[in-house]
Structure 1
Amino acid sequence: MENFFASCPRGLEPLLAEDLAVAGVAESRQIPGGVHFVADWPTCYAANLHSRIATRILWRVARGPYAKEDDIYRQALALPWPTWFSASQTIRVDITAVKCPLRSLEFMTLRIKDAICDRFRADVGKRPSVDTREPEVRLHGFLSANECTLYIDTSGAPLYQRGLRQKTVEAPLKENVAAGILRLSGWQPGIPLLDPMCGSGTFLLEAAQIALNIAPGAGRDFGFQRLRNFRLKEWKHLLDSAMDAEKPAANAQIYGSDISPVAVRAALANLDRAGLLTAVTLSSGDILEIDAPAKAGVLVTNPPYGERLSEQDELAAFYPQLGSALKRKFAGWNCYLLSADMRMPKLMRLMSSKKTPLYNGAMECRLFEFKMVAGSNRR
């Protein structure tokens, strides 16, 4: 059994723990930003393949106290790196820190890289090269006030990169945030789902994959495939099982629209490339004018939230219209709006029944729940 850490967007830790349990993890511990867990390698593979919420899954290879830079160098030098990957592979080292007393994290990153290369030179006579753009092996250090933890990344590219979305519009939502919102909304396949401001289609792509039981990692590769201990036979069995469980593409009562024809074209291209176009109904339309596609269902969307003063003025005029449109057209629907604009419910003149703190990247947001009933929903 090995020690791992799965990271995720803040606010989604309980959902990540659920994903890990489904993958076979028996023992886990949630902290802000992720979940520590103990598992064997096939379970690590399964978590990478199936978790819709995780950002990365890191294998912990060392943890120990430090007082100065040299302590961390010696800790990294003591590890048998050449038994985990080869000198012909490219590497990248990243460090994050909380309350770390050291002056330069960039210098510490270099010291860890030097220790890895020095260990390779001592053991095999050559060293790996650094590639900061597309490394074959990613290494992570985490520094607290007095402890250093070193990890090898089993995911490679972040897990929210499903390999589906090629065309994006401004400020796209990360896929694992979208998947988390779908889970928090209580949406299940078979229930009508609408994103009326769909952008490049992130909610639609995630929902269609869920409806067709497509594993989120089925179309990409992973960091663990480039490690010496990779078990091809066990990985192939997991992947084959996931492929066998997929459902044939069919209309899934998933609807998307956007006022921008450019956004609709981007969503169309992404869904088409992913082979999910038959599951989704797309159209151009203004959220203030479109009709609900069914008598009841779940509406999820990520409306704009202005960072400039002029945008905030525009939104202050838009939100009351949005509230009116939801009351007029979406009685019987549960609506979930992600926004960093805390004024939104008040300006919409709607009472939110729930607000869940979430992060989209570094931006603190709220997922506002509005249960639309016939008649007024005002304070």
Structure 2
Amino acid sequence: MPDFFATCPRGLEKLLADELGGFGADNVRPSAGGVGFAGDWLLCYRANLQSRLASRILWRVKDAMPYRNEQDVYQAVYDLPWPRWFDVGNTILVKVTAIKCPLKSLEFITLKIKDAVCDKFRKEKNARPSVAKLDPDMRIHAFFQGEQFTLYLDTSGDALYKRGVRTHTNIAPLRENLAAGILKMTGWQPGTPLLDPMCGSGTFLIEAAQMSLNIMPGIGRHFAFEHLKNFDAKTWNALRAAALAAQQPVSELPIYGSDLYGDALKAAHQNLEEAGIRETVDLKQCNALEASPPEKEGILVANLPYGERMGDEDELAELYPQLGDALKQRFGGWSAWLFTADLRIVKLMRLTPSRRIPLYNGAIECRLFEYRIVAGSNRT
């Protein structure tokens, strides 16, 4: 049975493990930055199509093995049956990541791995695959940890957070799988009122609408596994057809978004329109400090502005206490979840968070804070 590794934003590993288990994965093993699991190729297809949390689904083609130098790595890569897995006409790209790797140059070892793959094709097919830095057919991932390395073939292609629906973004976009993870952490469920008063290009709104309508995150895109020689088109087409049949009709949902800036709101409008779900979300232009709750109870979620979106740190420092006051005065009965990289918020909001969850947006360390707003009180 093939073994896989699903990468994800740090902080989402447990949620991703639960999601993969729900798909039927075996031997689920959470670790830093992802989850190892075993399953058949139908499970691989399903994980790519349905996972809202994974960044990539990698097929492990070489277990962790020791090496002493670059030649050891070259030989181990060369010995693998690359022409059995994909065609010489497919373009390739090699990516190397390392932790405490004794090799002198990661660039050089990247070239050695590429040479080993190409040399194997040249020996068996009298031709070699071309390298493509942009949009390659097959991505080969090598992970070095100390004096061992592991090799993977990427079954996803473009990262899975690229759903193919959010083409208009603002300055500080939130990755879609991180937004989906945050929504799951809040406890939000389809049918529960949701408000994003700083919606930007609409990432939270689109993820929530797709969850509500049972629209699979990968339904509108292609995957690298379609280039593999073992690709089962009949099984894949049946899986996609079942996913399309399970979608709910587009209708109004209790999902609300607003933003101070017209350009951001225009991007959200366009993204929802192009995703075919514009009528599901109530959008309006509004200052978050003046926003009113659209319903009696619900969940408020916001990716708070970064410095480049808002201005200097002093301007942000003024925003936090004003936002705290607005929540206290108008959002009694709501649960507010604020995502930020600015930890000054803890003191400046003048509200006590009930939860603080460490997360990463790319390489940026962030926190997700929960504030339970009690009606008629100046404190949470």
8 A contact 1:160–1:176 mirrored in 2: yes
Instruction: State the match for 1:41 in structure 2.
Output: 41
Cα distance in structure 2, aligned partners of 1:305 and 1:196? 15
Separation in 1 of the partners of 2:306 and 2:165? 26
1:5 alignment counterpart: 5
- Partners of 2:136 and 2:264 lie apart in 1 by 32
Question: CA 1:87/1:266 → structure 2, altered by over 3 Å: closer, same or farther?
Answer: same
Change in CA separation of 1:377 and 1:139 when aligned onto 2, cut-off 3 Å = farther
- CA distance in 1: counterparts of 2:87 and 2:314, whole angstroms: 56
Q: Percent identity?
A: 56
Q: Which residue of 2 aligns with 1:215?
A: 216
Match of 1:282 in 2: 283
CA distance in 1, matches of 2:115, 2:49: 32
Letter in 2 for 1:330: F
Q: What RMSD over aligned residues (CA atoms) do the two structures have, in Å?
A: 1.3
What is the correspondence of 1:110-149 to structure 2 with a 5 Å cutoff?
A: 110-149=111-150
Letter of the 1:49 partner, please give it: L
Per-residue deviation, residues 205-264 of structure 1 (Å, max 9, x unmatched)? 100000000010101011101110101111111111111110000011000000000000
Alignment pair present for 1:241 and 2:256 = no
Deviations along 1:142-179, whole A, 9 cap, x unmatched? 00101110110000000000000111111100000000
The Cα shift of 1:308 comes to 11
User: What's the CA shift for 1:85?
Assistant: 0.6
In the TM superposition, 1:68-83 aligns within 5 A as 68-83=69-84
Contact 1:92 1:138 in 2 (8 A): yes
> What one-letter code is carried by the residue in structure 1 that aligns with 2:342?
D
Compared CA separation, residues 306 and 245, structure 1 to 2 (3 A) = same
Counterpart residue number, 2:198: 197
Code of the residue aligned with 1:141 in structure 2: it is: A
Whether contact under 8 Å (1:19, 1:47) holds in the other structure is: no
Please tell me the residue identity of whatever aligns with 2:319: F
Distance across 1 between alignment mates of 2:191 and 2:328: 24
What is residue 56 of structure 1 aligned with on the other side?
56
Aligned residue for 1:217, secondary structure, equals coil
CA 1:196–1:96: 2 relative to 1, 3 Å: same
Secondary structure in structure 2 of the residue aligned to 1:375:
coil
Matches within 5 A, 1:174-189: 174-189=175-190
Q: 1:57 is matched by which residue type in structure 2?
A: I
Q: What SS is found at the alignment partner of 1:369?
A: strand
**Any conservation in 2 of the 1:194–1:299 contact (CA below 8 Å)?**
yes
Shift of 1:375: 2.8
Q: Hey, what's the Cα distance between the residues in 2 that align with 1:276 and 1:165?
A: 12
2:94 alignment counterpart: 93
Task: In structure 1, give the amino acid aligned to 2:104.
Answer: R
Q: CA deviation at 1:265?
A: 0.4
Matches of 1:32 and 1:174 in 2, distance apart? 18
> 1:6, 1:57 within 8 Å by CA — same for their partners in 2?
yes
Task: Flag the 1:127–1:339 CA change in 2: closer, same or farther, 3 A.
Answer: same
Report the CA distance between 1:193 and its aligned residue. 0.3
Structure 2 CA distance for aligned equivalents of residues 330 and 97 of structure 1: 47
Shift of 1:378: 3.3
Aligned to 2:350: 349
Cα deviation, 1:282-302, whole Å, max 9, x if unaligned, reads: 000000112110010000110
CA distance in 1, matches of 2:311, 2:46: 47
The letter of the residue matching 1:244 is: A
Q: Which residue of 2 aligns with 1:172?
A: 173
Report runs of 4+ in structure 1 exceeding 4 Å deviation.
307-310
Q: For the residues of structure 1 that align with 2:173 and 2:210, how far apart are their CA atoms?
A: 18
Q: Which secondary structure does the structure 2 equivalent of 1:325 belong to?
A: helix
Contact (CA 8 Å) 1:139, 1:150: kept in 2 or not? yes
Count of aligned residue pairs for this structure pair: 379
Partner of 1:30: 30
* 2:312 aligned counterpart, secondary structure: helix
- The SS at the match of 2:192 is coil
One-letter identity of the residue aligned with 1:302: N
**Structure 1 unaligned spans of 5+:** none
> In 1, distance between residues paired with 2:203 and 2:211?
12
Tell me the amino acid that sits aligned with residue 253 of structure 1. P
CA shift, 1:30, in A, is 0.6
TM-score (norm 2): 0.98
Residue 67 of structure 1, CA deviation: 1.2
Q: Which amino acid letter does the alignment assign opposite residue 203 of structure 1? A: F
Give me the whole-angstrom Cα distance separating, in 2, the residues matched to 1:238 and 1:23: 13
Q: Using the alignment, how far apart are the partners of 2:306 and 2:101 within structure 1?
A: 34
Whether the 8 Å contact between 1:351 and 1:377 is mirrored in structure 2 is no
Mapped to 1, the partners of 2:35 and 2:284 lie a distance apart of: 39
TM-aligned CA deviation for residue 91 of structure 1: 0.4
What TM-score does the superposition give when structure 1 sets the normalisation length? 0.98
Distance 1:373 1:211, change over 3 A: same
Q: How far apart in 2 are the matches of 1:377 and 1:108?
A: 59
1:376 Cα offset (Å): 3.0
